[in-house]
Amino acid sequence: MEILKFKTTIKCSGCIAKATPFLDDQIGRENWEVNTENPDKVLTVKTEGNLSEQEVIKAVQEAGFKAEKMV
């Protein structure tokens, strides 16, 4: 299993609620979470290698937010 981390603009529970349908559809319901207490609002994605960084960024953008891969 691979863990991908992204800095996002998903800031609160309302933002998470807005993003959930997009992320559930692209990533899978149990495969992502956003830590809104972290200053970088970190999105953590668990993948079996079948999901690219670009696909995650696209799903976040479709939800109306920004994401960038953390190094």
User: For 49, phi and psi rounded to 5 degrees?
Assistant: 90, 5
pLDDT tens-digit readout, 11-69: 999 999 999 999 999 999 999 999 999 999 999 999 998 899 999 999 999 999 999 99
Ordered by where they begin, the domains of the chain are 2-69 (3.30.70.100)
- Structure confidence at residue 71 (pLDDT): 83
DSSP3 helix / strand / coil % (the chain, rounded to 5): 35, 30, 35
